[in-house]
């Protein structure tokens, strides 16, 4: 009986060459299909947000996975349509009236701009200062408004891309468990524990950011709208809605809202409080400072969690870098991307210096994945 020859393993040089070739091929494909990257990311975001809804519907009503996914999309559609029907009409009315007040604000700014002031014996030309400030603001805002609005118009106006996002998101939810099991099957057994730990940590970051951020935006929008009506902030509904949207820009969003609200308070004043505009502006600033502390010390830790928390300077630099690299999506995903990079970077550093990459949790045995009962209970899995 002849022995079969032993299979020879690849040498280190061969492995390195294969890795370089695969990396080059990946970069080439990403460049060729770069227009599909942003819609694909949107599909992943939608799938990540709706997956728990589909899981809940399937568990509660014993539905087929495909039907549960379809119902999750229908539920999202009904919620969005309801929100737009309730908010858009009064919002449009406020924005329409805002156009008239903007003309008045611009006329007041023009009167201030052409006035010269003398401070400590020095003549200050407001016109020159304003030109420098506006020039700096324009150079900073171009990455936001240039790429962001261009991409938004492109996606909204293209039915093909919209359908692409919906279809990809649908199948990511429907077959997400099988896709994850396939990816985990590619991981060498000795790295399964590390892979599971990293997956759980990154999942916590993105889950806290997206699902928590939606809840946080609703809470903040409600608080700002109610307080705005109480103190007589002009366009309280629009400003509350704006505050909710700007919660997706950590740290920087608060500053943007405060600047806009201060301008409205200074040039328009309260809608019912009989106080000077400058005092009303100070009230708005003071209330915003109080809310910011409440947001940082109470809302964020309980709704978003502490894993996504980053130093304000890091967040601001990340938002500007994201705007330059990817426009709107770069702005939106800056914070969770940096937080994920922090987790992965700490893992790489720990392995480079031979220390435990997960000191807070034991990784002697692989951690169990999220409950897969929805996948195992239904005999029609193989028919999907």
Contacts of residues 332-341 at CB distance under 8 Å and 24 or more positions apart, as own/partner, are 332/248, 333/41, 335/209, 335/250, 335/308, 335/310, 336/205, 336/206, 336/209, 336/210, 336/308, 338/310, 338/314, 339/205, 339/209, 339/307, 339/308, 339/310, 340/202, 340/205, 340/206
Q: Cβ of 209: how many Cβ atoms within 10 Å?
A: 26
Q: What is the mean pLDDT of residues 169-185?
A: 87
Q: Is the pLDDT of residue 103 over 50?
A: yes
Do 222 and 75 meet the contact criterion of CB atoms below 8 Å apart? no
The model's confidence at residue 366, banded by pLDDT at 50, 70 and 90, is: very low
Please tell me the total number of residues recorded for the chain in this structure.
384
CA atoms within 13 A on the CB side of 350: 12
Q: What is the mean pLDDT of residues 177-201?
A: 86
The residues pairing with 118 across neighbouring beta strands, listed in sequence order, are 123
State residue 374's pLDDT score: 36
Q: What is the mean pLDDT of residues 65-74?
A: 92
State residue 372's pLDDT score: 41
Helices and strands per DSSP (H, E), number in the chain = 14, 2
State residue 241's pLDDT score: 86
Greatest Cα-to-Cα distance within the chain, rounded to the nearest angstrom: 106
pTM for this prediction: 0.64
- Across the chain, what does the average pLDDT equal? 77
């Amino acid at each position: 009986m002849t022995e079969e020859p032993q299979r020879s393993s690849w040498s280190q040089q061969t492995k390195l060459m294969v890795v370089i070739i695969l990396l080059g091929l990946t970069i080439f494909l990403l460049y060729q299909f770069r227009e599909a990257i942003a819609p694909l990311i949107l599909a992943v975001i939608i799938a990540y947000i709706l997956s728990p809804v589909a899981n809940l519907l399937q568990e509660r009503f014993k539905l087929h996975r495909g039907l549960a996914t379809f119902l999750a999309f229908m539920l999202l559609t009904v919620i969005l349509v309801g929100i737009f029907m309730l908010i858009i009409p009064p919002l449009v009315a406020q924005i329409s009236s805002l156009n008239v007040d903007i003309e008045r604000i611009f006329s007041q700014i023009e009167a201030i701009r052409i006035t010269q002031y003398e401070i400590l014996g020095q003549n200050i030309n407001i016109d020159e200062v304003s030109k420098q400030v506006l020039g700096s603001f324009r150079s900073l805002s171009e990455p936001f408004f240039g790429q962001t609005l261009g991409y938004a118009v492109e996606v909204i106006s293209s039915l093909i891309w919209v359908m692409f996002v919906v279809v990809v998101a649908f199948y990511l939810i429907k077959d997400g468990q099988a896709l994850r099991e396939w990816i985990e099957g590619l991981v060498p057994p000795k790295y399964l524990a590390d892979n599971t730990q990293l997956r759980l940590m990154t999942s916590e970051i993105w889950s806290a950011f997206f699902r928590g951020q939606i809840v946080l935006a609703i809470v903040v929008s409600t608080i700002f709208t109610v307080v705005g009506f109480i103190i007589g902030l002009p366009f309280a509904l629009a400003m509350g809605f704006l505050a909710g949207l700007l919660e997706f820009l950590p740290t920087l969003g608060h500053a943007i809202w405060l600047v806009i609200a201060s301008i409205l308070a200074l040039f328009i004043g309260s809608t019912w409080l009989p106080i000077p505009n400058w005092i009303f502006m100070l009230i708005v600033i003071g209330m915003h400072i109080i809310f910011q502390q409440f947001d940082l010390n109470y809302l964020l830790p309980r709704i978003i969690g502490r894993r996504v928390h980053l130093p304000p300077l890091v967040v601001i630099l990340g938002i500007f870098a994201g705007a330059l690299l990817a426009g709107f999506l770069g702005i939106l995903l800056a914070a969770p991307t940096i937080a994920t990079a922090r987790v992965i970077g700490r893992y790489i550093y720990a392995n480079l210096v031979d220390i435990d990459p997960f000191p807070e949790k034991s990784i002697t045995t692989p951690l169990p994945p999220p409950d897969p009962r929805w996948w195992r209970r239904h005999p029609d899995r193989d028919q999907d």
